[in-house]
Amino acid sequence: MSERQHLVIQGKTYELTWVDHIDGGLGEKNHDMLRIVFERGRPAERTIATVLHEALHLISDELVLSLDEDTINRLESGLYCFLSESGVDLLPLIREPGA
CA 51 – CA 10 distance, rounded (Å): 14
Q: 36-95, pLDDT tens digit by residue?
A: 999 988 999 999 999 999 999 999 999 999 999 999 999 999 999 999 999 999 999 998
> What is the C-alpha to C-alpha distance for residues 26 and 82, in angstroms, rounded to an integer?
22
Q: Is the pLDDT of residue 24 over 90?
A: no
| Radius of gyration for the alpha carbons in the chain, expressed in angstroms and rounded | 13
pTM, entire model: 0.90
Provide the pLDDT for residue 93: 92
The residues, ordered by sequence, that sit 6+ positions from 9 with a Cβ below 8 Å of its Cβ are 55, 58, 59, 62
26: confidence class by pLDDT, cuts 50, 70, 90: confident
Question: Does residue 98 register a pLDDT over 90?
Answer: no
